[in-house]
């Protein structure tokens, strides 16, 4: 594998970067109050609407010049060429020599993207058709369990990208899902996860989807073997039952066969689909089983619309580009360490958890593509909770803490569950929070309320805390697809500016290797010779000496 990137100009040497550094010094004390007072149209002007998503980015600590410079930075970093390289199937994941083609997973049938001489779009649609056929047979009851009962329970076993997308999508699209079926998700190696997931399920009505790109992941394979035993125990060890109760989603046919699942019951995907970008691949099988194939295809079309927007829209009206550049602005010039993602939509309760992997596994890096250490910040921490729960938890820090935490508010004009005044009250909170964060409450305002002098400082909100507000009409499968693709491509934009590889994840390897070494040390009958540091040795001894079995 060759390093084709050694001539890239370091980010901090780019003209736009240097200009942004100077510009930041000039406007670091700028106040949103002033920006809005000086430009009464700001809240209408600094908005973009595309493919049914409305982004209000006016409450950011930016001027028109900031935007001009950020857009110039994007051009200087070759963002347009990098986008094209991804969409054309170039092997931009250079440390693994792989193409990065989650966009092919939602491309229309007639499209063509060639990797190593193969049109991957045809492969994608062949697997999609197989998923549709299978999910319809299960949902209609045609697919029967070992004893002839219909499948009522689906348990997805997977972790990371093989879990977070499916769980998030299941929760997000519950309104559209088949309510007569039960969906569970087992990811953690903690035995409690599996135990609780199946405790009330009838094995004769349960289908396990073992989802793993590699089919070697310790957690998933351990849980899958436990599921196999659980099933066999119910059927007197009859291994014939496995065919009716297990399917696999993987890139690794050999390991699937070794596990005992017929590869005819394997739904394939490919090494050019990163785990955290895989929910529109066969990893979405549980989603399709829950919402049906028609809704699944609608979700894919939402993803595709955002893909096309990202690929073709001018940068100044390109939603993912703007959001990505704003993140760079805060991370690198304001030193922001965290971004809060705040969906005011209960169905999106797992969306922040999903984004944690998408963003932090992608851009939590410190090596540039040419192998030198970055001299600037890369990914902030993304976290969040659905509104209004977060308000009664950590918003105190957002409003009055010492850290600057930009927020992404996400809301829908219509609720899926109309109930009295709930939705108006919910939305009033979104708008109130971004207003309060931006404009705060001055000492004069606090005093004017008759607050005693000693209490005044505690009740001041300095404001000037930035946020984006994203509005869509209604949470549909299509809207969900657009929203997720928006964040995927915002992450891409950030990675392209930082000059890092957003598509590998070497940082998760060391812990996995060390755990493999420690497992036999915990299980061995004889006292093992421990060669760790004194802390790790002592923790292992304490566990060994205290455990009962
Ligand atoms: O699908 P697999 O191969 O089981 O991997 C699961 C997850 O493990 C990781 O490789 C590392 O945590 C993720 O990137 C991936 O989504």
What's 333's domain CATH number? 3.40.50.10490
Amino acid 248: pLDDT: 98
Does 213 sit in the ligand 1 pocket, CB within 6 Å?
yes
- Nearest-angstrom CA–CA distance, 172 and 147: 33
Q: Which of the listed residues 265, 291, 317 is the one where a domain comes to its end?
A: 291
Ligand 1 centroid from CA 357, angstroms: 10
How much is the mean pLDDT over the chain?
Answer: 97
* Ligand 1 atom 4, closest CA: 212
Out of 361, 385, 478, 521, the active site residue is 361
CA angle 407, 410, 413 (to 5 degrees): 145
> Based on the domain organization, do 175 and 88 belong to the same domain?
no
161 pocket-lining for ligand 1 (C-beta < 6 Å): yes
Catalytic residue (choose from 254, 392, 414, 527): 392
- 517 belongs to a structural domain: yes
pLDDT digits (tens, 9 = 90+) for 44-96: 999 999 999 999 999 999 999 999 999 999 999 999 999 999 999 999 999 99
Rounded-to-integer distance, Cα 60 and Cα 404, Å: 12
* Beta carbon of 214 within 6 Å of any ligand 1 atom: yes
Does any domain span residue 3?
no
Q: Is the C-beta atom of 222 inside 6 A of ligand 1?
A: no
Cα(30) to centroid of ligand 1, in Å? 43
Structural domain includes residue 84: yes
How does pLDDT run across 136-175, given as a tens digit for each residue? 999 999 999 999 999 999 999 999 999 999 999 999 999 9
Quote the pLDDT of residue 547: 87
Biggest CA-to-CA distance, the chain: 78
Q: Is the minimum distance from the CB of 159 to ligand 1 under 6 angstroms?
A: yes
**pLDDT higher than threshold 90 for residue 226:** yes
Residue 219 Cα to ligand 1 midpoint, Å, equals: 10
pLDDT at residue 98 greater than cutoff 50: yes
Assess whether the C-beta atom of 505 lies below 6 angstroms from ligand 1.
yes
User: What is the pLDDT confidence band of residue 1, given thresholds at 50, 70 and 90?
Assistant: very low
Q: Are the beta carbons of 245 and 145 closer than 8 angstroms?
A: yes
From the CB of 250, is ligand 1 less than 6 Å away? no
Does one domain contain both 374 and 270? no
Is the distance from the beta carbon of residue 387 to the nearest atom of ligand 1 less than 6 Å? no
Write out the H or E segment, with its range, that includes residue 168.
helix 164-172
3-class SS of residue 98: strand
Q: Residue 4 — pLDDT band, cuts 50, 70, 90?
A: low
Confirm if 387 and 379 have CB atoms less than 8 A apart.
Answer: no
Helices (H), 342-421: 351-355, 362-363, 395-400
Domain that holds residue 542: 510-548
266 and 315 share one domain = no
DSSP β-ladder status, 53-56 and 47-50: antiparallel
Same domain, 279 and 334: no
| Shared-domain flag, residues 122 and 217 | yes
- Torsion sign (Cα): 41, 47, 49, 52: negative
Whether 331 and 170 have beta carbons less than 8 Å apart is answered as no
Residue 505 domain-assigned (yes or no): no
- Round to whole Å and give the CA distance between 166 and 42: 39
Residues 331, 244: Cα–Cα separation, whole Å = 50
Q: Is residue 359 part of a domain?
A: yes
Does residue 252 register a pLDDT over 70? Answer: yes
pLDDT confidence tier of residue 177, bands split at 50, 70 and 90? very high
Residue to mutate, 210, 505, 506, ligand 1, most ligand atoms under 8 Å from C-beta: 505
Same domain, 321 and 434: yes
Q: What is the pLDDT of residue 2?
A: 45
Q: Is residue 233 domain-shared with residue 349, that is, in the same domain?
A: no
| Cα 161 from Cα 269, distance rounded (Å) | 13
Answer whether residue 3 shows pLDDT above 60. no
Do 161 and 210 lie in a common domain?
yes
pLDDT range class, residue 383, cuts 50, 70, 90: very high
316 has catalytic annotation: no
Choose the residue to mutate in 186, 275, 353 for probing ligand 1, maximizing ligand atoms within 8 Å of C-beta.
275
- Residue where a domain stops, chosen among 269, 291, 313: 291
Residue 524 pLDDT > 70: yes
181 CA from centroid of ligand 1 (Å): 27
**pLDDT band at 27; cut points 50, 70, 90:** very high
pLDDT value for 549: 64
ipTM: 0.98
Give the neighbor-by-neighbor strand order of the sheet with 381-383: 47-50, 53-56, 467-472, 407-412, 338-344, 381-383
Cα–Cα dist 228/245, whole Å: 9
Structural domain contains residue 360: yes
Mean pLDDT calculated for residue range 177-202? 98
With residues binned 3-state (H G I as helix, E B as strand, rest as coil), the percentages for the chain, rounded to 5, are: 55, 10, 35
Are 151 and 240 in contact by the 8 Å Cβ rule? The answer is: no
pLDDT at 132 exceeding the cut of 60: yes
Whether 361 is catalytic is yes
Half-sphere CA count of 439, side-chain side, radius 13 A? 13
The minimum-distance atom of ligand 1 relative to the CA of 162 is 1
Using DSSP bridges, classify how beta strands 53-56 and 467-472 pair: parallel, antiparallel or unpaired: antiparallel
181 and 268 assigned to the same domain: yes
Assess whether 335 and 322 both reside in one domain. yes
Q: Which atom of ligand 1 is nearest to the CA of 164?
A: 16
For residue 7, name the pLDDT band (cuts at 50, 70, 90): low
Residue 376 has pLDDT above 50, yes or no: yes
Q: How far is the CA of 354 from the centre of ligand 1 (A)?
A: 13
CB 475 within 8 A of CB 348: yes
Res 8: pLDDT: 81
For range 430-441, the mean pLDDT: 98
Q: Is the CB of 508 under 6 A from ligand 1?
A: yes
The pLDDT value given to residue 6: 55
- Structural domain contains residue 353: yes
Task: Write down the pTM of the prediction.
Answer: 0.97
The domain total for the chain is: 3
Domain closes at, from 237, 260, 291: 291
């Amino acid at each position: 594998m060759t390093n084709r990137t050694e001539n890239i100009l370091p980010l901090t040497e780019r003209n736009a970067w240097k200009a942004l550094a100077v510009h930041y010094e000039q406007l670091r004390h700028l106040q949103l109050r002033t920006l809005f007072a000086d430009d009464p149209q700001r809240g209408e002007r600094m908005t973009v609407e595309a493919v049914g998503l409305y982004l209000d980015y006016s409450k950011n600590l930016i001027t028109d010049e900031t935007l001009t410079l950020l857009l110039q930075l994007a051009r200087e970093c070759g963002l347009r060429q990098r986008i094209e390289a991804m969409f054309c199937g170039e092997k931009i994941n250079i440390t693994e020599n792989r193409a990065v083609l989650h966009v092919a997973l939602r491309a229309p049938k007639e499209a063509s993207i060639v990797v190593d001489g193969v049109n991957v779009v045809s492969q994608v649609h062949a697997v999609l058709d197989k998923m549709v056929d299978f999910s319809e047979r299960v949902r209609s009851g045609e697919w029967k369990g070992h004893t002839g009962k219909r499948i009522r329970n689906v348990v997805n076993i997977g972790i990371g990208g093989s879990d977070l997308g499916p769980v998030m999508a299941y929760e997000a699209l519950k309104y559209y899902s088949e309510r007569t079926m039960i969906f569970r998700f087992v990811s953690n190696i903690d035995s409690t996860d599996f135990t609780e997931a199946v405790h009330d399920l009838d094995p004769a009505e349960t289908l396990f989807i073992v989802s793993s790109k590699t089919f070697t992941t310790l957690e998933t394979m351990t849980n899958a073997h436990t599921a196999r035993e659980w099933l066999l125990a119910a059927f007197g060890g009859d291994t014939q039952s496995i065919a009716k109760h297990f399917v696999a989603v993987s890139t690794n046919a050999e390991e699937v066969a070794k596990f005992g699942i017929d590869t005819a019951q394997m739904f394939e995907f490919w090494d050019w689909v990163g785990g955290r970008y895989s929910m529109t691949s066969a990893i979405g099988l549980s989603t399709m089983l829950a919402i049906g194939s028609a809704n699944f295809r609608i979700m894919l079309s939402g993803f595709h619309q955002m893909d096309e927007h990202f690929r073709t829209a001018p940068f100044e009206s390109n939603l993912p580009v703007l959001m990505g550049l704003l993140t760079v602005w805060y991370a690198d010039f304001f030193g922001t360490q965290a971004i809060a993602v705040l969906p005011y939509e209960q169905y999106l309760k797992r969306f922040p958890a999903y984004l944690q992997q998408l963003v932090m596994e992608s851009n939590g890096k410190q090596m540039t593509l040419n192998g030198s250490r970055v001299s600037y910040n890369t990914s902030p921490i993304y976290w969040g909770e659905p509104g209004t729960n977060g308000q009664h938890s950590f918003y105190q820090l957002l409003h009055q803490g010492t850290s600057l935490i930009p927020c992404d508010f996400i809301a829908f004009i219509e609720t899926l569950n109309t109930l009295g005044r709930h939705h108006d009250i919910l939305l009033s909170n979104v708008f109130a929070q971004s207003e309060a964060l931006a404009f705060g409450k001055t000492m004069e305002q606090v005093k004017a309320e008759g607050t005693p002098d000693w209490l005044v400082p505690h009740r001041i909100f300095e404001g000037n805390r930035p946020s984006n507000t994203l509005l869509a009409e209604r949470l549909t499968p299509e809207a969900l697809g657009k929203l997720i693709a928006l964040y995927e491509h915002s992450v891409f934009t950030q990675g392209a500016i930082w000059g890092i590889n957003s598509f590998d994840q070497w940082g998760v390897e060391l812990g996995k290797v060390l755990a493999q070494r420690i497992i036999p040390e915990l299980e061995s009958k004889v006292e093992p010779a421990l060669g760790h540091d004194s802390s790790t040795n002592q923790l292992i001894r304490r566990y060994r000496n205290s455990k009962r079995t």
